[in-house]
Structure 1
């Protein structure tokens, strides 16, 4: 992936890690208002995941880069996203596999993993590019405000 500048979330953690990766997946948006996106089609998604924290783990990592890629790439690459019933649901617009929901889902998957680590870093942002001209940035809220160190 070519180097790219991403929007940066504000925080006061000591460490910030960013992992770029891509995956190819098909999807469709099950809504009349989705236009052409109602039809099954595919993308090569480009993702950037931002993780931050104050403590390193026993190996000196905030989190191993390869784990972030494995969590998402192994799950979604060369799939029909709509088939992942754990993440997406054709009956709930908040769970249609739109770029926004896929970005949120990536963040949730990464954070679930991070919650199980001893150093407990936070996933602060997922940048997800669906096409050369369209992308979404997802930043989870924490305690009713944008994610930041407490």
Structure 2
């Protein structure tokens, strides 16, 4: 993966960690206005997760890079997103669009971070679906 610089919101935390990785997944958007996206198709998604915090854990990490990748890669790589319980064909807020996938990745990451004693938080998820299209999800309140 090429080194990239991602937009980040200003913050006052001492540490900022960024993890880049990719996963390949299929999906479809179950809505008549989705055009060609109504048909099952695939993408190689590139993602960047930004995590911030003030304290390191007992190993000297803000959070282990591998743990962050595994949470998403093991769940979504080479899968059909519509079949994952996080998504639904019945509600637009749960269709596996780039926006919803980015928000879902945030929720998965933050749920894991909430279990850590040093209390890191996910600041943003950057998700690129194609070479020309990406989405950034940032919660309205950090850590929420």
TM-score range, shorter chain: over 0.9
Structure 1 position 9, deviation (Å): 1.5
RMSD: 0.8
**Residue equivalent to 2:47:** 47
**Residue equivalent to 2:120:** 121
**Residue equivalent to 1:21:** 21
Aligned residues between the structures? 143
TM-score, normalised by the number of residues in structure 2:
0.98
1:131-142 aligned at under 5 Å gives the runs 131-142=130-141
TM-score, normalised by the number of residues in structure 1:
0.94
Separation of aligned partners in 2, 1:141 and 1:116: 21
Separation of aligned partners in 2, 1:84 and 1:10: 33
Post-superposition Cα deviations, 1:19-55, rounded to whole Å, max 9, x if no partner, equal 0000000000001111110000000000000000001
Separation of aligned partners in 1, 2:105 and 2:94: 13
Structure 1 position 122, deviation (Å): 0.5
Structure 1 gaps, min length 5:
none
> What secondary structure sits across from 2:88 in the alignment?
coil
Separation of aligned partners in 1, 2:123 and 2:58: 22
Runs of 4+ in 1 over 3 A off after TM superposition: none
